[in-house]
Structure 1
């Protein structure tokens, strides 16, 4: 059984979570054409390395962020979205 540590609920079975994909910067709505918005919304990057992703603990409906290595699928850390993303 794979465990994921929820910042609010502690270590839980990963089946209790839902992934919402990587955190991405929002394009400027005034300077972005429809084609660029479509690409931003529907085209995913396929890259290697560590990404910060949105996750949700389904039973409590708690959203948080997780740093995950895309190559090894290792969860490096999880943290509340109000915390800074850079490591101290």
Structure 2
């Protein structure tokens, strides 16, 4: 799979580290062990289009939000996580 970095262009997926869903997950209270288990280990694994957070650690160091299809691995868009230009 290749990801379009808005700063570096089309790059191999091995240059990036995947950090999960781009949607914000609220941290549970410290005294709620069951909620922490869900927060850390139980995430949705949807089939179809997702928005993921990736870090370009093998390149420019940018944080990206990548819109991709988990079934086809097609990448529809990539944007800087700070609201930058869409690639």
The TM-score by the shorter chain falls in which range? 0.7 to 0.9
Q: 2:18 — aligned with what?
A: 19
**CA pair 50-61 structure 1, distance change in 2 beyond 3 A:** same
Q: TM-score, normalised by structure 2?
A: 0.75
Runs of 4+ with deviation above 6 angstroms:
none
Q: 1:44 offset after TM fit, Å?
A: 2.5
CA distance in 2, matches of 1:18, 1:68: 15
Aligned positions, number: 82
CA distance in 2, matches of 1:58, 1:28: 25
CA distance in 2, matches of 1:35, 1:48: 26
Give structure 1 stretches of 5+ with no counterpart: none
Q: TM-score, normalised by structure 1?
A: 0.74
